[in-house]
Every structure is written in structure tokens, then in C-alpha cells.
A and B are shown apart, each in its own frame.
Chain A
């Protein structure tokens, strides 16, 4: 029997109540939000529960939403996969823009170690309890977090390019 979305939703709501919310189908993937302080227990539950059995962490990454409410300016996205039922889910956890911090899941999935370091490197999201939270792709001396939207990609002093003529707006460049 295939693993149904409603089954996942019921189990999670039953166990975690209000901490798991906004169940929705986004494209072809079942998605929901989890309160940041509950993320480790939710993921551990999803991994260890016999019927859910989301035993594989496909991907972990960050997103920056500078225009959102201050409590939801960062998101950490987890993609989990149950190979036996061939079911994927996406979990989002929103974090505050001022001091983004979430608990590490590198003790649940070893593969999260570097993915969390990458997220820290690019977004400055602090993973509490991570064994070695330092920059991974950028150099250690770097002070900024380059994937944040306010970080400019090009030198802002350039005068040879007028973005108005290239369909660009401040939001997409």
C-alpha cells in the first residue's frame, strides 16, 4: 500500500499537534512546515516510525526571504525520501531574520553534516549542536554570507551596464 499524504499528516498532527502545519501539495511533492524548535524530534519521528520510514535525507538547503515577516526571513528546507514506498516529502522550517538558529540533524543523518555547513556558509544559519560548524566552500576569513539576497553579485559601482534595458528589476538582480 502506498504511503498516502493523509496518513503522514494524521500521524504528525497526532504526535506534534500545532508544531507541524500548512500541509500542502507543492508541485509533485508533499510539503509542510515545522516549528524550528521541533525539527529534530519531527525528523527523528519520520525516520524511526515504522510506517513512515523516511530513512534517507536527500537534500538540505537554506532560503532567504528578506521581504517576509522578521520571524520568517530564513527557511531551512529538508527533502526526505522513503525508498521503500518511493515517497518524497519536503519540510520547511522558518527562522528569524535576526538570529537564525536551528538544531542540527547531523546526529540523525550523517550526511547532514556538510549540508548544514554549506547552509551556514552561505546564509549564516546557525545549527546548534553541530560538531564542526565552520565554512566549507568559502574561505574562513570571509565575514559575509554570500547567498543572502542583500549580498550583491556584481560590483555596484559598475556603470557599463544599465539594468533597466535588460528586463531586470531590483528583485531579480
Chain B
């Protein structure tokens, strides 16, 4: 046994010493990660292996912990969005919007319908981007590179739309308290329409490549299954829970940002295995596309932000030319705005499940306490149990299909 890897008092050491095979071979330890190209992020698992088979796993997390909760206690509200970007960086707009909605709930701000619809559009785009990454990388991990190449350019297209909306691509820092910082440009809508036209056939092709593919099915069906009861016990939410057969979706259970105005179904799987997770995400992309189309169709005219001068930064030209705007600008930047004393919890359906912000304020300009309910962090603890008895190559596929995002895991 390698003493470099484990201390003698480690629980694996005992198992290895007790269990020797008849031919004299012994169980081995494999250090998977933290920086392994197949884990797509910084995940370390110390595996106890019997040949190719995994007997036990011990995950270590926190490699990219950046103390966001502590930093958030020292930042005014409008400076917290950049922190939320960096949690689930595959779908940062969802995190941004979730944060603004939390603050708006705290301050009782009514957001205009148009801004709500625009938010829905950008959140669904983010969900598509998130699922594109998860599903295409799952393909790569099972040995099918082609699908990844087909769909990945569309993530780029989505990022271009973000760029038109807010100027940034990955860590978007999009929006303001009460809506958006600017009206969406015509170019943004044009790009969105082009995306809605070009993406569906490619996604259909992607599905055709995988869903009835013999190799893919062999690699994923019955790999890492989890029952509905176990999934609930482990705090699963989002596509991973729905793959196990429970139709819990925050967008339906507790609609926010006018989700109640749209028709969509919540796709569910049955067995909770890797294949079901893949299929649920595929189906969700179609639902997201349909939501975006409905939102574009019904998009009302009106302001793109709420009329809340106390919290919404005025346009720069007004700050230079208008006394009132200058005062508001100064007050907001210096943190002299009124904040109620309250405790609120706001959940949204993130790319991976229920993303919640638990915000406690004490009347000062910063949160007294801000806790992020990060879906990845909560369901990743089921991983050791899910890979028990699986092959090493399955462990990679299971991790991929869970779509654990390191930034969200470690916050």
C-alpha cells in the first residue's frame, strides 16, 4: 500500500490490510483528480479499488473555495452579482437573475412585465447553454466527440447573445436591481432569432446521434442509478432528481419572473441512471426553446427596469447633467440607501437544481448573512454511493452526467 497517499490510520488502510486475495494480490488505491482531464473540474476522489471495480470513494472538495459568503457580508447588494457569476459559471445569468430577484423580494420591488420576460429568455438561454455543456461532454466521456463538436458552437452563439445584452460572455454580471442596465439591442434580438432557427435542427441531430446509439446506451443505461427516495434523501433537485422520476421544478412549484405565463412540461425520467439524466436534459432544452419562443411572442412593450431611483443606478449622462441623478448615483454608490431588516429565502430553478439565496439583512448596506443553497454541493455527496461497485470508466461518466460544477460546489 502506498504510504505516500494515505496515512496508516486512514480507514482504507484497515480494509486493505484485512482483505487480501488468495493469489496474494491486494486492493489498491487510486487518486482520481484533483486535476484530471476527465473530471472536467477540480474534483478529487480517493478510490479504493479491486481491480477495475470501485469499492469506496472519498471525495475531497474545496479546491476552488473563494469564501463568497464571507465576501458577500462585506459588499453592497449590487457588488454581489459578480460573486454569483462565479458559482455556476456555465449558467451565470440564472445566478445573476436569482440574486436580483432576491434583492427585489427584500425591497418589495415590482419588476415590469417586459423585464420579467427578458429575464425568462436569458435564463432559459443559460439553461440551454448549461445542458449543452453537460450532455455534449457526457458524449465525449463515452467516446463520441462528434456530437460535442456539432453543438458546442451554439454555446458560443449564446455567449454572443449575452455579449449583446450585457457586454460580457462567461461571467456576465447581468442586470440591475429592478431589471436590466440597458434595453436589449436589435442585434441581440436578431442573434436570438437566428439561434432559435439554427439550433433546433442541430440539437435534433445531436439527439439522433446519441439516444438510440448502441455504444452510448451500453455505456449509460443502468450506470449510476439512484432511486427517487434516495435522491430526495440526498437533497437532489433539478434534472438529476427529475431523472429519478420526481417532477419537482421550482419554475412550476413556486413561479418567479412570470414563469406562470408560459406553457411547458417538466420532463421526468424513470430509473435515475445516466441515460435518464441525459434524456431529461435533452428534453429540457426543447422546453426551454419553447419558453423562449413564447416569451418573444408575448414580449410586452414597456420599460426594461423598475422605477426605483433609490436602487437603480441612473444613466451616466444624467449623472453628469442632472442634479437629482447625481445625488442618487452618489447615494447608491456610497451605500446610503434604505434597506429593511428582514430574512428571506428565494429559490430559482438553476441549471442543476434549486438554487436558493438565503439573505439576512440588519439595515446596513451589506447583507448580515448571505447563504447560497448550491445544488451541486448538496447532491455531490451522493457521488461515493453512486459509484460504489461501478467501473472506473463509469465513475467518470456518472460524474459527467451529474453536471457538478466546481465553482458552485466550492463557492
Q: Does A21 contact B (CB under 8 A)?
A: no
Q: Give complex CA distance A171, B361 in Å.
A: 12
The one of B230, B358, B366, B382 in contact with A79, judged by C-beta atoms closer than 8 angstroms, is B358
**A26 and B232 form a contact (CB under 8 A):** no
Tell me which of B62-70, B93-101, B283-291, B315-323 binds A: B62-70
For residue A167, CB closer than 8 A to chain B, the reply is yes
Interface residues on A, range: 35 or more
Selected contact of B334 from candidates A88, A115, A167, CB within 8 Å = A167
Query: Given A26-B343, A171-B362, A58 and B354 touching (CB < 8 A)?
Result: yes
B373 pairs with A111, CB closer than 8 A: no
Pairwise interchain contact B233-A172, C-beta atoms closer than 8 A: no
Chain B positions within 8 Å of A173 at CB level: 74, 366
**B361-403 interface mask toward A, CB cutoff 8 Å, 1 = contact, 0 = none?**
0101110010101000111111000000000000000000000
CB contacts (< 8 Å) of A110 on chain B: these are 230, 233-235, 381-382
Q: Determine the distance from Cα of A141 to Cα of B402 in the docked complex, in whole angstroms.
A: 30
Tell whether A147 pairs with B69 under 8 Å between CB atoms, given A86-B253, A137-B410, A166-B335.
Answer: yes
Does B158 belong to the interface (CB within 8 Å)?
no
- Rounded to whole Å, the gap between the CB of A105 and the closest CB of chain B is 12
- For the complex, give the distance between the alpha carbons of A26 and B358 in Å: 12
Inter-chain CA distance A138–B62, complex, in Å, is 6
Compute how far the CA of A63 lies from the CA of B369 in the bound complex, rounded to whole angstroms: 7
Q: Which residues between 341 and 369 of chain B lie within 8 Å of chain A, taking CB atoms?
A: 342-345, 347, 354, 356, 358, 360, 362, 364-366, 369
Task: Decide if A57 touches B410 in the complex (CB within 8 Å).
Answer: no
Given the known inter-chain contacts A63-B360, A136-B61, A147-B70, please indicate yes or no for A111 contacting B345, CB distance below 8 A. Answer: no
Are the C-beta atoms of A114 and B381 separated by less than 8 Å?
A: yes
Q: Are A114 and B377 touching (Cβ within 8 A)?
A: yes
C-alpha spacing A94/B378, complex, angstroms: 23
Q: Which residues of chain A have C-beta atoms less than 8 A from B334's C-beta? A: 166-167
- Pair count A-B, CB < 8 A: 104
Q: What's the Cα separation between A27 and B69 when bound, in Å?
A: 22
B373 and A58 form a contact (CB under 8 A): yes
Closest to B377 in A: A114
Q: What is the CA–CA distance of A172 and B373 in the complex, to the nearest angstrom?
A: 23
Interface set, chain A 56-105, CB cutoff 8 A to B: 56-59, 61, 63-64, 77, 79, 83, 86, 88, 90
Could you tell me the distance between the alpha carbons of A32 and B325 in the complex, rounded to whole angstroms? 43
Chain A residue numbers with a CB within 8 Å of B62 are 135-139
Residues of B within 8 A of A172 (CB): 74, 364-366
CB distance from A52 to the nearest CB of B (A): 16
Taken together as a complex, chains A and B put the C-alpha atoms of A1 and B410 apart, in Å, by 40
Tell me the minimal C-beta distance from B18 to chain A in angstroms: 21
Shortest beta-carbon distance, B12 to chain A, in Å? 14
> A28, A111, A166: which contacts B344 (Cβ < 8 A)?
A28
Q: In angstroms, how far is the closest chain A Cβ from the Cβ of B351?
A: 18
Does A3 make an interface contact (CB < 8 A)?
Answer: no
Beyond A61-B371, A63-B369, A137-B65, is A113–B381 a contact (Cβ under 8 Å)?
Answer: yes
When chains A and B are docked, how far (Å) is the Cα of A29 from the Cα of B345?
Answer: 8
| B196 CB within 8 Å of chain A | no
The 0/1 profile, CB within 8 Å of A marked 1, for residues 234-249 of chain B is 1100000000001010
Is the pair A146, B377 in contact by a Cβ cutoff of 8 Å?
A: no
Bound complex: CA A88 to CA B253 (Å) = 11
The smallest C-beta distance from A31 to any residue of chain B, in angstroms, reads 8
Decide yes or no whether A127 CB sits under 8 A from chain B. Answer: no
Instruction: Let me know if A122 is at the binding interface, CB within 8 A.
Output: yes
Contact B248 A109 (CB under 8 A): no
From B248, B253, B378, contact of A114 by CB (8 A): B378
B232 to chain A, nearest CB (A): 6
Q: A147-B69, A171-B364 are known contacts. Are A79 and B345 too (CB-CB below 8 A)?
A: yes
Decide yes or no whether B265 CB sits under 8 A from chain A: no
Q: Of B65, B71, B380, which one neighbours A153 at CB under 8 angstroms? A: B71
- Report the nearest A residue to B336, measured CB to CB: A167
Say yes or no: A83-B233 contact (C-beta < 8 A), given A28-B344, A58-B373: no
Residues of A with C-beta under 8 A to B364: 169, 171-172
Chain A residues with CB under 8 Å of B347's CB are 58
The 3 closest A-B pairs by CB, nearest first: A111-B235, A137-B62, A172-B364
Q: Can you identify 6 A-B contacts, CB atoms within 8 angstroms?
A: A56-B232, A59-B373, A86-B253, A118-B377, A136-B61, A172-B74
Q: Using a CB–CB distance below 8 Å, which chain A residues touch chain B? A: 26-29, 31, 55-59, 61, 63-64, 77, 79, 83, 86, 88, 90, 109-111, 113-115, 118, 122, 135-139, 146-147, 151, 153, 166-169, 171-173
Q: A58-B347, A153-B73, A172-B366 are in contact. List 13 more A-B contacts (CB 8 A).
A: A28-B344, A55-B232, A58-B354, A61-B358, A83-B246, A110-B382, A114-B378, A137-B65, A137-B410, A138-B62, A139-B62, A146-B67, A167-B336
> Which residues of B are at the interface with A, using a C-beta cutoff of 8 A?
61-62, 65, 67, 69-71, 73-74, 105, 230, 232-235, 246, 248, 253-254, 334-336, 342-345, 347, 354, 356, 358, 360, 362, 364-366, 369, 371, 373, 377-382, 410-411
